[in-house]
């Protein structure tokens, strides 16, 4: 017996960041499915005897938690500070390589048979210019992330950075005409209240800088977080809009996004740190923790992509909530973070609202122009050959 699944192309707040936000968002793949695609149950795929579904969730929890810890530690482990503009550049370069590999693995036969010119044509096609806007926004956002994590303790940063859920939701309502139900609006209200409690507590409390805590400037750090979250919402929704209104593969779009992000990243190096780099060198202040921060930031989107493919929104929200708790717990021991009652209440509100937000799907007033709406996919039962997969497409022609 064949099982029939209906895949709706709908807007979600967290459908935006396969590669470019290690923060908590997701995106469905909108490329045209091949008749040779192997459809295998996620529960059947295992690594070392462990289901990919749960292994990817575990990796997501660790990555989300370690990202902010490693980024912060890389900024205080040495008196000699590395140039964050160079770290952003290397992160984008690594994302480009990773995206190229994933794009190739998506359809290796087509790329092999058509050659290098075909690959260049796909990357630099007529509509590739659409990636310049999110590329600029993402690069600026990543620079602000480094600025914020340099001035805030990891716990405050991790909780405050969940404000990107709010900015993404609002941008989605305005630009994608998404309708949020009562549960989602309630969770956004709780999220805002929780973040406000954390930030008010952070600005009112005082903490003496030490070898463990490093320099703390909570006002400037929170301002940087706020702008980073705003850019996250704008860039993510724009990226989703491009994916929904064109027929290009999501991994091809990520190749373009990473490639074009190198342009503003290079400008940042020249304009912000150019003179200092010419005096001290490109790798000035680099430690093993610097490379760790770069790798954590680069791999975050890849982990989210796997989670989206093999898990679901509820489990992803749960994993994000666990990572917030773990980050706060580690901050107590590594950075001498002092937990207060307002911070605890605010964090609980943020954790619960983050989980709650992912439990209810969004609705759209009307489909976007040229949007691929849905697939009606008949999936072969477990153990059948790939040739038995029958996919009936129900999508309008796209650009």
The DSSP annotation for 309-373 comes to: HHS-HHHHHHHHHHHHHHHHHHHHHHS-PPP-HHHHHHHHHHHHHHHHHTTS--EESSPPTT---
Which sign does the torsion angle of CA 304, 305, 310, 313 carry? positive
Which residues have CB under 8 Å from 259's CB, separation 6+? Answer: 96, 123
Q: Give the SS3 label for residue 379.
A: strand
Closest C-alpha to 380, from 44, 150, 126, 111: 44
Report the distance separating Cα 23 and Cα 15, nearest Å: 11
First vs last Cα of the chain: how many Å apart?
A: 36
Q: Say what the pTM is.
A: 0.75
Report the distance separating Cα 211 and Cα 161, nearest Å: 25
User: Tell me, what's the pLDDT at 81?
Assistant: 92
Residues in the chain: 399
User: Tell me, what's the pLDDT at 51?
Assistant: 77
CB 28 within 8 A of CB 379: no
The DSSP annotation for 171-221 comes to: HHHHHS-EEP-HHHHHHHHHHHHHHHHHHHHHHH------TTT----HHHH
What residue numbers bound the domain in which 209 lies? 3-394
φ, ψ of residue 103 in degrees (nearest 5): -65, -40
Going by the DSSP 8-state scheme, the letter that residue 163 receives in this structure is: H
- Number of domains, the chain: 1
What does the pLDDT look like over 185-234, one tens digit per residue? 999 999 999 999 998 877 666 555 544 555 678 889 999 999 999 999 99
Residue with tokens 């340099």: 150
| CA angle 70–240–199, rounded 5-degree value | 45
What's the token pair of residue 39?
Answer: 């459809």
- Is 263 inside a domain boundary? yes
3-state DSSP helix/strand/coil percent for the chain, to nearest 5?
65, 5, 30
- Is 399 inside a domain boundary? no
Residues of the chain with pLDDT under 50: 1-20, 22-43, 210-211, 373-399
CA-to-CA separations, 212 to 9, 66, 156, 302, 314, in angstroms, rounded: 47, 17, 16, 31, 35
């Amino acid at each position: 017996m064949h099982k029939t699944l209906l895949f709706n192309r709908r807007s979600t707040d967290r459908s935006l960041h396969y590669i470019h936000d290690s923060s908590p968002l997701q995106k469905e793949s909108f490329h045209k499915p091949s008749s040779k695609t192997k459809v295998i149950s996620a529960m059947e795929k295992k690594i070392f005897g462990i289901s990919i579904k749960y292994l990817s969730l575990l990796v997501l929890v660790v990555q989300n938690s370690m990202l902010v810890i490693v980024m912060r530690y890389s900024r205080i482990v040495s008196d000699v500070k590395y140039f964050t503009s160079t770290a952003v550049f290397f992160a984008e370069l690594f994302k480009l390589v990773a995206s190229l590999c994933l794009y190739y693995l998506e359809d290796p036969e087509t790329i092999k048979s058509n050659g290098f010119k075909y690959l260049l044509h796909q990357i630099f096609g007529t509509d590739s210019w659409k990636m310049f806007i999110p590329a600029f926004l993402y690069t600026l956002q990543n620079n602000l992330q480094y600025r914020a994590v340099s001035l805030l303790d990891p716990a405050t940063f991790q909780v405050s950075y969940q404000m990107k859920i709010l900015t993404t939701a609002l941008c989605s309502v305005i630009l994608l005409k998404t309708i949020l139900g009562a549960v989602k609006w309630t969770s956004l209200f709780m999220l805002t209240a929780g973040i406000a409690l954390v930030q008010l507590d952070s600005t009112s409390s005082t903490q003496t800088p030490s070898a463990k805590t490093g320099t703390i400037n909570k006002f400037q750090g929170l301002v940087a977080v706020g702008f980073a979250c705003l850019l996250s919402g704008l860039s993510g929704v724009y990226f989703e809009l491009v994916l929904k209104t064109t027929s290009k593969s999501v991994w091809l779009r990520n190749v373009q996004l990473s490639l074009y992000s190198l342009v503003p990243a290079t400008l940042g190096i020249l304009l912000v740190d150019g003179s200092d780099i010419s005096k001290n060198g490109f790798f000035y202040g680099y430690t093993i923790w610097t490379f760790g921060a770069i790798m954590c930031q680069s791999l975050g989107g890849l982990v989210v992509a796997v989670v989206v493919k093999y898990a679901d929104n509820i489990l992803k929200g749960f994993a994000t909530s666990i990572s917030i708790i773990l980050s706060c717990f580690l901050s107590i021991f590594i950075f001498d973070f002092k937990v207060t009652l307002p911070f605890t209440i605010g964090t609980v509100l943020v954790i619960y609202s983050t989980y709650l937000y992912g439990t209810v799907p969004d609705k759209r007033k009307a489909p976007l122009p040229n949007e691929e709406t849905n697939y009606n996919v008949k999936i072969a039962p477990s153990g059948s050959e790939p040739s038995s997969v029958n996919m009936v497409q129900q999508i309008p022609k796209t650009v």
